[in-house]
């Protein structure tokens, strides 16, 4: 079939298998030319199919020949209806990895559940024995608690006061003011339940108690801080509380792994266009301006460049360069004073009329469509494609 993008609001309902494959192959090429000395060898990636998690899987596999197990929650294709992009990404990654002689298997299901955890543990025991790294890269709006069955929904809201600022609809380029009412009721606790560290700790506890973590084991989860512009809705909002919890969980994990010299870390990453971030108000306008400034300075990175730097210059380097709160920072270039000062200047001038010139709205849009395998260089979109692509290592 011919597959075209069909968008509704901040999501795209279709995805293109060949475009997704090309994205994965581009990331593999990047890592092949930037290998990781002394990198991980046996890796579990939770949230492995898109964004930072996919980049982490590719960096592990192609940076240091790691065997990888990927866990994700993606929609398979049906006749005439494309899969979700993470499905096609995983299919492309595994097909290529198998060709290149790398172990790669996947589990598609709810990572928050006991069933998927047990299935993953069994696969590790059967195939890998012990693992030396777990990447935790889930982004989800909901979580069903595995013990109580309670279903939590996360919200992206400010705490205490209404937040009013500009945002952009990146489809139309219209810049307008929006107001977001403060959270209420159990919003904070629910958001912590979904995006905080409880599930990460559950995974590590299970794997530790089953004795499948090797000496000097490492686990990393991803966090975000961002500028003062987005603080009220992000870092000081409900999602920020969840990130505070996630960051605190890293220390608990390290404490629980003392006997194997294991470590839990949080890496604070750069703002990037992913399915998760395009849904957050104000962030698209910030990212459009940030991309413009960082590209002009020659320091723009995508997910793969971020994770390659995380592995090569932090996790598997001499010095993790932790900040005062014990976090790894690969958002260091985003947060540079000169970069932030420029973004703030542009923010004040940003209108529907000025944004195409002062911001990188095209870059934003391209990245958004690329997430779904569209607008990818070198792909012939007029060519018939088979939507029924299988993931070779799917369990
Ligand atoms: P993403 O939406 O690209 O990836 C989410 C992944 O989680 C996918 O592999 C998806 O299949 C998986 N997933 C979601 N729910 C699941 C479930 N119930 N069971 C199993 N798998 C599930 O998101 P992105 O942006 O890569 O986010 C990953 C982490 O990085 C998040 O913690 C996010 O807060 C963080 N981060 C994101 C930044 C950004 O600008 N996008 C910046 C800094 C940190
Ligand atoms: Na991810």
Q: What residue ranges line ligand 1, CB within 6 angstroms?
A: 47-53, 71-74, 86, 110-112, 137-140, 222-224, 269, 271-272, 274-277
List pLDDT tens digits, range 33-68.
Answer: 999 999 999 999 999 999 999 999 999 999 999 999
The residue whose CB lies within 8 Å of the most ligand 1 atoms, and thus the one to mutate among 11, 52, 89, 109, is: 52
Q: Ligand 1, closest atom to CA 48?
A: 9
**327-350 tens-digit pLDDT:** 999 999 999 999 999 999 999 999
Residue 222 C-alpha to ligand 1 middle, in angstroms? 9
> So what's the pLDDT on residue 280?
83
pLDDT in tens, 60-101: 999 999 999 999 999 999 999 999 999 999 999 999 999 999
Residue of the CA atom closest to atom 1 of ligand 1: 51
**Ligand nearest to the CA of residue 56, numbered in listed order:** 2
- Which ligand does the CA of 242 lie closest to? 1
Q: Which ligand is nearest to the CA of 223?
A: 1
Query: Atom 15 (ligand 1): residue with closest C-alpha?
Result: 140
Write the residue with the smallest CA distance to atom 8 of ligand 1.
Answer: 47
| ipTM confidence score | 0.98
What is the reported pTM? 0.98
3-state SS of the chain? CCCCCCEECCEECCCCHHHHHHHHHHHHHHHHCCCCCCCCCEEEEECCCCHHHHHHHHHHHHHHCCEEEEEECCCCCECCECCCHHHHHHHHHHHHHHHCCCCEEEEECCCCCHHHHHHHHHHHHHHHCCEEEEEECCCCCEEECCCCCCEEECCCCCCCCCEEEEEEECCCCEEEEEEECCCCCCHHHHHHHHHCCHHHHHHHHHHHHCCCEEEEEEEEEEECCCCHHHHCCCCCCHHHHHHHHHHHHHHHHHHHCHHHCCEEEEEECCCCCCCCHHHCCCHHHHHHHHHHHHHHCCCCCCHHHHHHHHHHHHHCCCCCCCCCCCCEECCCCCCCHHHHHHHHHHHHHCCCCCHHHHCCHHHHHHHHHHHCCCCCCCCCCCCCCCCCCCCCCEC
């Amino acid at each position: 079939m011919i597959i075209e993008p069909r968008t509704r609001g901040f999501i795209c309902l279709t995805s293109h298998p060949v475009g997704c494959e090309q994205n994965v192959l581009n990331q593999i090429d990047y890592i092949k030319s930037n290998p990781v000395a002394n990198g991980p060898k046996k890796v579990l990636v939770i949230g492995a199919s898109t964004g930072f998690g996919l980049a982490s899987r590719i960096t592990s596999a192609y940076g240091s020949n790691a065997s990888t197990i990927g866990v994700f929650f993606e929609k398979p294709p049906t006749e005439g209806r494309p899969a979700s992009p993470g499905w096609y990404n995983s299919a492309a990654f595994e097909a290529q990895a198998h060709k290149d002689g790398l172990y790669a298997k996947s589990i598609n299901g709810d990572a928050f559940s006991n069933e998927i955890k047990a299935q993953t543990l069994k696969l590790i025991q059967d195939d890998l024995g012990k693992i030396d790294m777990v990447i935790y890269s889930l982004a989800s709006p909901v979580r069903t608690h595995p013990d109580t069955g309670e279903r939590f929904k996360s919200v992206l809201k400010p705490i205490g006061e209404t937040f009013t600022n500009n945002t952009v609809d990146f489809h139309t380029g219209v810049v307008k003011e929006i107001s977001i009412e403060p959270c209420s009721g159990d919003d904070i606790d629910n958001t912590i339940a979904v995006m905080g560290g409880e599930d990460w700790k559950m995974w590590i506890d299970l794997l530790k108690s089953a004795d499948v973590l090797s000496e000097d084991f490492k686990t990393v989860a991803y966090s975000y801080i961002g500028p003062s512009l987005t603080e009220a809705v992000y870092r000081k909002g409900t999602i920020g509380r969840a990130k505070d919890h996630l960051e605190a969980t890293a220390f608990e994990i390290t404490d629980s792994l003392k006997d194997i010299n294991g470590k839990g870390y949080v890496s604070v990453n750069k703002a990037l266009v992913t399915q998760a971030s395009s849904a957050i108000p104000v962030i698209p306008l910030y990212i459009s301006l940030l991309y413009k400034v960082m590209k002009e300075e020659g320091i723009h990175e995508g997910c793969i460049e971020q994770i390659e730097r995380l592995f090569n210059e932090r996790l598997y380097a001499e010095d993790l360069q932790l900040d005062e709160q014990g976090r790894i920072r690969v958002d260091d270039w985003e947060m540079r004073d000169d970069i932030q000062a420029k973004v703030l200047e542009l923010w004040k001038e940003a209108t529907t009329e000025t944004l195409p010139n002062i911001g990188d709205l095209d870059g934003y849009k391209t990245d958004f469509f690329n997430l779904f395998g569209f607008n990818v260089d070198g792909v012939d979109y007029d060519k018939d494609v088979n939507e029924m692509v299988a993931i070779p290592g799917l369990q």
